[in-house]
Amino acid sequence: MNIAKLIYTALLLMYCSFAYGLTPISSANPSAVNGILDLRGQTFSNQLPLNGQWKFYWHQLLSPQDSVVKNGTIVNFPFKWDGKVLNGKALPAFGYATYRLTVLLPKRTEILRIAMPDTYCAYKLFFNGKQVAENGQVSTSADGFTAYWQYRAVDIAPETDTLKINLQIANFVHSQAGIKKPLTIGTKTLVELDRRRAEAIDLMLTGCLVMGGIFFMGLYLRGNRDKAILLFSLYSIVYAYRIIGSDNYVLHTLLPNINWYITTRLEYTSLFIGICLFGLYTRYLYPKDVNIKLLYTLSGICFAFAAAAICLPPIYFTQLINPFLVVMLFCLVYVPGVYMVAYKRKRPGATYAVLSAFALMIVFAISLFHYWGFIPQLQFISFLCYISFFFLQSLVLSHRVSFVLKKAREQAEQGLKAKSEFLSTMSHEIRTPLNSVIGMSHLLLKNNPRPDQIEQIDVMLFSANNLLAIVNDILDYNKIEAGKIVFEHIEMDIAAIIRNIVSGLQTPAQDKGIDLKLNLDRDLQNKVLGDPTRLFQVISNLAHNAIKFTPKGFVEIGVEVQGQTDKMITLLIRVTDSGIGISPEKIKIIFDRFTQADSSTSRGFGGTGLGLAICKKILQLQHTSLQVSSKPGKGSTFYFIQSFEKSIKTVEQQQHEDNLPKQEDKPFTGVSILLVEDNPINVLVAQKFLERWGARADVAQNGVEALEKLDTAKHQLILMDLHMPIMDGYEATRKMRLNGVTLPIIALTANLLNEIEDQVKLAGITDMIAKPFLPDELFRKVLHYVHKNA
Ligand code: ADP
């Protein structure tokens, strides 16, 4: 945001409002001469001030009947007498006097109204000999005197053509005395409307401030223990008092007879405390951009002023306003300065803070100039500026709150990222040795072991596979959570997948004496398109669970065709068992991660409680959902309904697949492969398999060695580990490609494949195999590239 432009626009707006809103108080208005104000030529389209030369009688409380009076002087009304020199003597603040004016009114049909402002500090007003208004109790001594301020207005009947005003004022409490604001005259409707407007504006502003204050207080109390928010809330509430408790004194109209001593103390205290709170608020808002000592000193001074306003008699504390103006002026310069610094340092919400300071400066300027009598109250402009100030400050705070939330979210995301990175690293670390264990076990099994060794190797393989399943589960869940899972869309034979699962689980089922059954719908004839790995994972997980939680009876895997067209087929896939079942209240939680229906489950049956959570998520991401119906003690059925696209395969493709060579035919005889791998056990495993299939493998232990040993005339394929000392697989591949090597390079990696996909492509690697590799996969990939190259 261009702040200069904004300030410029705001200035222009302010200028326009000033030009529009300024009521002329200049020479255009008639002025009293020698105690007589001639308004006979006036139409009263605006309110007129009764200003000019009034008669003033010091130390006399004249009643209208006292017609022969001495010692009268002419003063320029409105006239505050404290400190004024009369007959060579400076007048004290304490005392009493009478002001007199005769107003000549035009002929008219309308009722006129005179608005009487507040005076220092009690008055009695007479029109044509009759008392028409009073505030407090005027008296010639402090004894009978009572101070009071409240707005009053007096109507003048249409037939009155001459109005003799007799105004008695007395003061025995305040440091100022007399009257500072003009009496004004206008049509009754106009004066009433103006007053209502002024009251409405003040009340509206007060309402806004109180609501804002309560809102921010709530925010603070509800947990966001940010001191800036608390201080702003207090500032809003304190300042709300100033709006109705000063200037138009709307509060005094709302609560007539409210005690003068209380309201006056509150009026001053709210100003001192308000500035103090604002200073502290700035200190907490931009703690790094303020001079903390300076702000604490400033707040201390404000507090001292406030304490004086509470403890001292009014004659003293009412004198504090002028020295306090210095403090206010300092704040007016210093605080915007802080905001500018904060803006330059790009603190959250500083743009709004700068703009709000600008609005506040206008308010202060108006109230100062008005206080000194240079300009009228300009209430509407002040109102707009106040509203802008509080609105902008609220934006600063909301910006701050959302900034804190954003930061917290970023931290949480960073935490998640760290977790995922940790899991990836762990996966790498765990999978690499597992690769060796599983590979070597397979080799041992194929090297004619003794019967007793077969059993031991089986146990070892079983445990290693279990460990691999757990690692994979954790990784899988992590991957799904991070939204990193990508589904394949390739041809798959669902019947074959399920048959594979059943034959794989036959042994554990038989061991438990469970009848593991397969129930395939005859209508399931086609291969379909989908992700065979994930489908296998879901069904085998459910089947595993079924066997695990079934002490006796049966487990059945069933597929029913629910409907099919030429292109699509909808299947209901279910796993039913006659096991322990799940109670209705537990059914809700078994799909949550790391939860098991019974805390004794993990002890009795093992498991991590991740399986179902993963199945559910995998199916959810494929737009279907995992359902369960279960009766405790009777058994459970886990099922889902999924639609698949049918695969249409040409006869040639099918024949090609059928004609592919088999592993035992040593199809790679004569093929030479460069195996780049630093882990000797991995080398051993891969080498053994490749040799079993007829290939010859040359081994390089790192990238540099690979570059030396590569012979493009001899080698047909490169198997490249990615993480190696001296030079890693990426770098080695890049160098080979730069040297013009076009041979297929297959990466062997323990990372999650799609996490490194981009890096691998960029380096020029042809394909990838995840470690620990399955012999079948290695065979298929090698076959594919060797064939292609041939
Ligand atoms: P794990 O099997 O590793 O504990 P799962 O997420 O696969 O985790 O299952 C969560 C829980 O759901 C199990 O611990 C078990 O209490 C319950 N459960 C799952 N399948 C069955 C089933 N076929 N029969 C009874 N309870 C089951």
Per-residue model confidence as pLDDT tens digits over 604-636: 565 667 889 889 999 999 999 999 999 999 999
The dihedrals phi and psi of 658, each to the nearest 5 degrees, come to -65, -30
Shared domain for 179 and 220, answered yes or no, is: no
Q: What is the mean pLDDT of residues 264-289?
A: 93
The DSSP secondary-structure symbol of 659 reads T
* Structural tokens at position 605: 């049956």
What distance in angstroms lies between residue 486's CA and the mean position of ligand 1's atoms?
26
Q: What is the mean pLDDT of residues 170-186?
A: 95
What distance in angstroms lies between residue 437's CA and the mean position of ligand 1's atoms?
28
Range list of β-strands (E), 158-257: 162-171, 184-187
What distance in angstroms lies between residue 177's CA and the mean position of ligand 1's atoms?
89
**8 Å CB contact between 608 and 594:** yes
Q: What is the mean pLDDT of residues 494-512?
A: 88
Q: Which atom of ligand 1 is nearest to the CA of 609?
A: 8
* Structural tokens at position 53: 């030369």
Ligand 1 atom 14: residue of nearest CA: 596
Ligand 1 atom 19: residue of nearest CA: 545
Q: Is the pLDDT of residue 23 over 60?
A: no
Residue 363 lies inside a defined structural domain of this protein: yes
Residue 201 lies inside a defined structural domain of this protein: yes
Top-confidence residue, 95 or 449: 95
Between CA 702 and CA 704 the distance in angstroms is: 6
**8 Å CB contact between 55 and 99:** yes
Look-up of token digits 């690769």:
435
Residue 643: strand pairing partners: 570
pLDDT at 13: 45
Residue 550 lies inside a defined structural domain of this protein: yes
Ligand 1 atom 8: residue of nearest CA: 609
358: closest CA among 1, 9, 2, 10? Answer: 10
What distance in angstroms lies between residue 597's CA and the mean position of ligand 1's atoms?
7
Residue 451 lies inside a defined structural domain of this protein: no
Q: What is the mean pLDDT of residues 186-200?
A: 94
Mutating to test ligand 1, I would choose from 590, 600, 634 the residue with most ligand atoms within 8 A of its C-beta, which is 590
Q: What is the mean pLDDT of residues 651-667?
A: 69
Ligand 1 atom 21: residue of nearest CA: 545
Range list of β-strands (E), 459-579: 490-492, 514-520, 528-530, 553-564, 568-577
pLDDT at 133: 96
Q: What is the mean pLDDT of residues 189-202?
A: 94
CA distances to 52, 376, 615, 629, 713 from 743, in Å: 106, 90, 39, 54, 10
Ligand 1 atom 23: residue of nearest CA: 546
Ligand 1 atom 16: residue of nearest CA: 597
Ligand 1 atom 13: residue of nearest CA: 596
CA distances to 93, 134, 152, 746 from 149, in Å: 17, 10, 9, 93
Ligand 1 atom 11: residue of nearest CA: 596
Confidence of residue 397 (pLDDT cuts 50, 70, 90): confident
Tell me the percentage of the chain whose pLDDT exceeds 90: 51
Q: What is the mean pLDDT of residues 727-745?
A: 92
CA distances to 115, 246, 266, 372, 579 from 243, in Å: 20, 6, 12, 19, 76
297: closest CA among 267, 256, 327, 338? Answer: 327
Q: What is the mean pLDDT of residues 147-175?
A: 95
* Structural tokens at position 33: 């001469």
47: closest CA among 490, 390, 377? Answer: 377
Shared domain for 620 and 558, answered yes or no, is: yes
pLDDT at 653: 64
Between CA 200 and CA 195 the distance in angstroms is: 8
Confidence of residue 658 (pLDDT cuts 50, 70, 90): low
What distance in angstroms lies between residue 480's CA and the mean position of ligand 1's atoms?
20
Q: pLDDT tens digits, residue range 554-606?
A: 999 999 999 999 889 999 999 999 999 999 988 888 888 666 666 555 545 65
Q: Which atom of ligand 1 is nearest to the CA of 550?
A: 24
Ligand 1 atom 3: residue of nearest CA: 607
Q: What is the mean pLDDT of residues 290-318?
A: 94
What distance in angstroms lies between residue 551's CA and the mean position of ligand 1's atoms?
14
In this structure, which amino acid lies at residue 339? Y
Residue 478 lies inside a defined structural domain of this protein: no
What distance in angstroms lies between residue 590's CA and the mean position of ligand 1's atoms?
7
Confidence of residue 669 (pLDDT cuts 50, 70, 90): confident
* 3-state SS assignment for residue 246: coil
**8 Å CB contact between 765 and 745:** yes
Q: pLDDT tens digits, residue range 402-425?
A: 888 899 999 998 988 887 778 767
Confidence of residue 4 (pLDDT cuts 50, 70, 90): very low
Shared domain for 672 and 583, answered yes or no, is: no
What distance in angstroms lies between residue 584's CA and the mean position of ligand 1's atoms?
14
Shared domain for 144 and 228, answered yes or no, is: no
Q: Is the pLDDT of residue 660 over 80?
A: no
* 3-state SS assignment for residue 144: coil
Sign for the CA dihedral angle at 398, 400, 404, 407 comes to positive
Ligand 1 atom 25: residue of nearest CA: 581
The dihedrals phi and psi of 162, each to the nearest 5 degrees, come to -130, 130
Mutating to test ligand 1, I would choose from 549, 594, 615, 638 the residue with most ligand atoms within 8 A of its C-beta, which is 549
Q: Which atom of ligand 1 is nearest to the CA of 595?
A: 10
Mutating to test ligand 1, I would choose from 599, 603, 612, 639 the residue with most ligand atoms within 8 A of its C-beta, which is 612
Q: Is the pLDDT of residue 30 over 80?
A: yes
442: closest CA among 751, 722, 678, 772? Answer: 772
Q: Which domain holds residue 239?
A: 196-409
**CATH number, position 612:** 3.30.565.10
Confidence of residue 750 (pLDDT cuts 50, 70, 90): confident
Domain termination site, one of 610, 626, 650: 650
Q: Is the pLDDT of residue 391 over 60?
A: yes
What distance in angstroms lies between residue 473's CA and the mean position of ligand 1's atoms?
14
Shared domain for 33 and 102, answered yes or no, is: yes
What distance in angstroms lies between residue 608's CA and the mean position of ligand 1's atoms?
9
pLDDT at 598: 66
**8 Å CB contact between 674 and 709:** yes
Confidence of residue 12 (pLDDT cuts 50, 70, 90): very low
What distance in angstroms lies between residue 611's CA and the mean position of ligand 1's atoms?
8
* Structural tokens at position 265: 């103390």
Shared domain for 496 and 608, answered yes or no, is: yes
What distance in angstroms lies between residue 520's CA and the mean position of ligand 1's atoms?
24
Shared domain for 583 and 546, answered yes or no, is: yes
Q: Which atom of ligand 1 is nearest to the CA of 546?
A: 23
Confidence of residue 754 (pLDDT cuts 50, 70, 90): low
pLDDT at 437: 85
Shared domain for 341 and 355, answered yes or no, is: yes
Residue 453 lies inside a defined structural domain of this protein: no
* Structural tokens at position 252: 């005094």
* Structural tokens at position 678: 């630093």
Residue 4 lies inside a defined structural domain of this protein: no
Shared domain for 250 and 137, answered yes or no, is: no
- Residues sharing a CB contact under 8 Å with residue 138, sequence separation 6 or more, in sequence order: 61, 96, 122, 123, 124, 145, 168, 169, 170
Top-confidence residue, 773 or 614: 614
* Structural tokens at position 269: 């205290």
**CATH number, position 678:** 3.40.50.2300
Between CA 539 and CA 169 the distance in angstroms is: 98
**8 Å CB contact between 642 and 570:** yes
Compute the residue count for the chain.
Answer: 790
**CATH number, position 377:** 1.20.1070
Q: What is the mean pLDDT of residues 140-157?
A: 94
* 3-state SS assignment for residue 789: helix
Q: Is the pLDDT of residue 222 over 90?
A: no
Shared domain for 169 and 296, answered yes or no, is: no
Q: Which atom of ligand 1 is nearest to the CA of 608?
A: 3
Q: Which atom of ligand 1 is nearest to the CA of 635?
A: 24
pLDDT at 606: 58
Count of structural domains within the chain? 4
The dihedrals phi and psi of 672, each to the nearest 5 degrees, come to -115, 130
Between CA 340 and CA 355 the distance in angstroms is: 10
CA distances to 64, 412, 640, 768 from 784, in Å: 120, 44, 35, 13
591-596: long-range contacts, CB 8 A cutoff, minimum separation 24: 591/616, 591/626, 593/477
Confidence of residue 430 (pLDDT cuts 50, 70, 90): confident
Mutating to test ligand 1, I would choose from 585, 596, 598, 628 the residue with most ligand atoms within 8 A of its C-beta, which is 596
**8 Å CB contact between 731 and 703:** yes
| H or E element in which residue 762 lies | helix 753-763
Between CA 523 and CA 562 the distance in angstroms is: 10
Q: What is the mean pLDDT of residues 249-271?
A: 92
Ligand 1 atom 2: residue of nearest CA: 607
Residue 188, classified by CB atoms within 10 Å of its CB into exposed (0-12), middle (13-18) or buried (19+), is: middle
Q: Which atom of ligand 1 is nearest to the CA of 580?
A: 25
Sign for the CA dihedral angle at 415, 419, 425, 426 comes to positive
Look-up of token digits 């100062």:
368
* Structural tokens at position 13: 């707006």
pLDDT at 95: 96
pTM for the whole structure: 0.60
Q: What is the mean pLDDT of residues 374-402?
A: 86
What distance in angstroms lies between residue 671's CA and the mean position of ligand 1's atoms?
48
Q: What is the mean pLDDT of residues 634-644?
A: 95
Shared domain for 635 and 511, answered yes or no, is: yes
Q: Is the pLDDT of residue 515 over 70?
A: yes
pLDDT at 163: 96
* Structural tokens at position 518: 């397969």
What distance in angstroms lies between residue 556's CA and the mean position of ligand 1's atoms?
16
**CATH number, position 184:** 2.60.120.260
Which segment of 35-49, 378-392, 530-544, 740-754 scores lowest on mean pLDDT? 740-754
pLDDT at 681: 79
Q: Which atom of ligand 1 is nearest to the CA of 612?
A: 6
Q: Is the pLDDT of residue 167 over 50?
A: yes
Residue 627: strand pairing partners: 639
Which segment of 276-280, 486-490, 537-541, 636-640 scores lowest on mean pLDDT? 486-490
Q: What is the mean pLDDT of residues 644-659?
A: 71
For the chain, give percent helix, strand, coil, nearest 5: 50, 20, 30
Q: What is the mean pLDDT of residues 512-541?
A: 90
Shared domain for 584 and 669, answered yes or no, is: no
Between CA 680 and CA 689 the distance in angstroms is: 14
Q: Is the pLDDT of residue 473 over 90?
A: no
pLDDT at 68: 67
Residue 655 lies inside a defined structural domain of this protein: no
* 3-state SS assignment for residue 155: strand
Domain termination site, one of 193, 228, 260: 193
745: closest CA among 768, 726, 773? Answer: 768
Domain termination site, one of 378, 409, 440: 409
- Helices 379-446 and 227-245 cross at an angle (nearest 10°) of 160
pLDDT at 230: 94
What distance in angstroms lies between residue 612's CA and the mean position of ligand 1's atoms?
7
Confidence of residue 650 (pLDDT cuts 50, 70, 90): low
Q: Is the pLDDT of residue 69 over 90?
A: no
CA distances to 583, 594, 617, 623, 634 from 629, in Å: 10, 21, 18, 20, 11
What distance in angstroms lies between residue 596's CA and the mean position of ligand 1's atoms?
6
pLDDT at 524: 87
Q: Is the pLDDT of residue 782 over 70?
A: yes
pLDDT at 264: 94
Question: Within 10 Å of residue 338's Cβ, how many Cβ atoms?
Answer: 23
Between CA 351 and CA 340 the distance in angstroms is: 8
The dihedrals phi and psi of 731, each to the nearest 5 degrees, come to -65, -45
486: closest CA among 755, 763, 759, 773? Answer: 755
Peptide bond into 78 cis (omega under 30): yes
Residue 576: strand pairing partners: 556, 637
The angle formed by the CA atoms of residues 497, 501 and 507, to the nearest 5 degrees, is 155
What distance in angstroms lies between residue 609's CA and the mean position of ligand 1's atoms?
7
Which segment of 74-78, 162-166, 724-728 scores lowest on mean pLDDT? 724-728
- Give residues (CB < 6 A) around ligand 1: 545-546, 549, 577, 579-582, 590, 596-598, 601, 607-613, 636
As a whole number, the mean pLDDT across the chain is 87
| H or E element in which residue 738 lies | helix 729-738
